[in-house]
Amino acid sequence: MNNRVVVLGSCSVCHVFTSPELPARGETLIGDDYHIVVGGKGSGQAIVAQKLGGDVFLLERLGDDAYGRAEKQSYEEMGMHTEFVHLDTKTPTGHAGIFLDANGQNKIVVVPGANGQVSCSDVDCLRETIAGAKILGAQLEVPLETVDHAIRIAAALGVRTMLDPAPVAPIDESLYPCISIMKPNEREAQLLTGVPVTDSETAAEAARILLNKGVREAVIITLGEKGTVLVTRDTERYFPGIPMEAIDTGGAGDTFAGALLAALSRDWALEKAVCYAQCASALCVTRISGYSATDKAEVDALFAKVYPQYLS
């Protein structure tokens, strides 16, 4: 079975600071803990998609430094295809500062580093690999012109595309018809449409605007612990959140996206894929920086428990 997933990715070394609450502007707090994890939206989504059964090809630029070399090796060890993971000799691996409070909420600052060097020519070298894929996933942590180029190439080749518009940025209006599936969270959907997204109804309203802009198949808006809204041209579905005790919400959105890519690479229907992604995301928030600990057996078990109707 062809379950190839191509991810146009980014990677950042994440410096995580925890404290009882997040500092206000100009405020200094004494924290509880500090640790380093390697993250980034593209990297996280690719790792989750691989762990959940996708055959992942990752396009990414890392610095030719200790962090970059170690991360590329870790991709190889988990079975990911890394021939398009480049070690950049001129620019260091990207870094991020993550500030995490006792309720699992976070604030994040990212310095792109080598992520900013992913180019359209890099994408061109990947053309044949994209042509053989089930789906291409992209985010906005690499240059916008590169993302635009990759999505247009995939669409021209008849390959399904999924855009996670984060960190949110203006999108060329002519790109929307090349996007098969768009997956913003509530804030991103609001900034892209002007609709204040506070619940499932306003999420559906925002989703319809994005569909009217040209998104081909579906808009999926994640609402955190409130759940997910799926809107196609024919249907609207709200999936309530799965109750979990959140320890760290960081990585939940990327886990959702990676699980969605893996499920769609297996030709699952959109509704089933969304439910599977909700399970993966729900488990992610129960651990610190949890997407790297994604376990297929654990996700499959929760999926069977919460959504038994999809097992037949």
- pLDDT tens digit string along 23-81? 888 999 999 999 888 888 899 999 999 999 999 999 999 999 999 999 999 999 999 99
Q: What is the pLDDT of residue 9?
A: 87
Active site residue 254: yes
Residue at 35 is within a domain: yes
Residue at 184 is within a domain: yes
Q: What is the CATH number of the domain that holds 159?
A: 3.40.1190.20
Q: What is the pLDDT of residue 271?
A: 97
Percent of the chain that is helix, strand, coil (3-state, to 5): 40, 25, 35
State the CB neighbour count (10 A cutoff) for residue 177. 13
What does each C-alpha distance from 144 to 147, 167, 169 come to in angstroms? 5, 11, 8
**CA-based R_g, the chain, Å:** 18
Q: Answer yes or no: are the C-beta atoms of 59 and 126 closer than 8 Å.
A: yes
Q: What is the pLDDT of residue 312?
A: 67
Find, among 188, 200, 134, 138, the residue nearest to 164 by Cα: 138
Q: What is the pLDDT of residue 104?
A: 78
Tell me which of 254, 267, 295, 300 is the catalytic residue: 254
Q: Answer yes or no: are the C-beta atoms of 97 and 39 closer than 8 Å.
A: no
β-bridge partners, 36: 15
Q: What is the pLDDT of residue 38?
A: 81
User: By three-state DSSP, how is residue 59 classified?
Assistant: strand
Number of domains in the chain: 1
Residues 6+ apart with CB under 8 A from 168: 140, 184, 187, 188, 191, 192
Residue at 255 is within a domain: yes
Residue at 301 is within a domain: no
Residue at 65 is within a domain: yes
Q: What is the pLDDT of residue 294?
A: 87
Residue at 234 is within a domain: yes
Q: What is the pLDDT of residue 166?
A: 93
Q: What is the pLDDT of residue 105?
A: 84
Q: Answer yes or no: are the C-beta atoms of 265 and 49 closer than 8 Å.
A: yes
In the chain, which stretches have pLDDT less than 70?
Answer: 288-290, 312
Q: What is the pLDDT of residue 289?
A: 62
Residue at 237 is within a domain: yes
Q: What is the pLDDT of residue 290?
A: 62
SS3 letters across 127-189? HHHHHCCCEEEECCCCCHHHHHHHHHHHHHCCCEEEECCCCCCCCCHHHHHHCCEECCEHHHH
Q: Answer yes or no: are the C-beta atoms of 221 and 207 closer than 8 Å.
A: yes
User: By three-state DSSP, how is residue 75 classified?
Assistant: helix
Range of the domain at 157: 6-23+30-295
Residue at 116 is within a domain: yes
Q: How do beta strands 135-138 and 55-63 pair?
A: unpaired
User: By three-state DSSP, how is residue 168 classified?
Assistant: coil
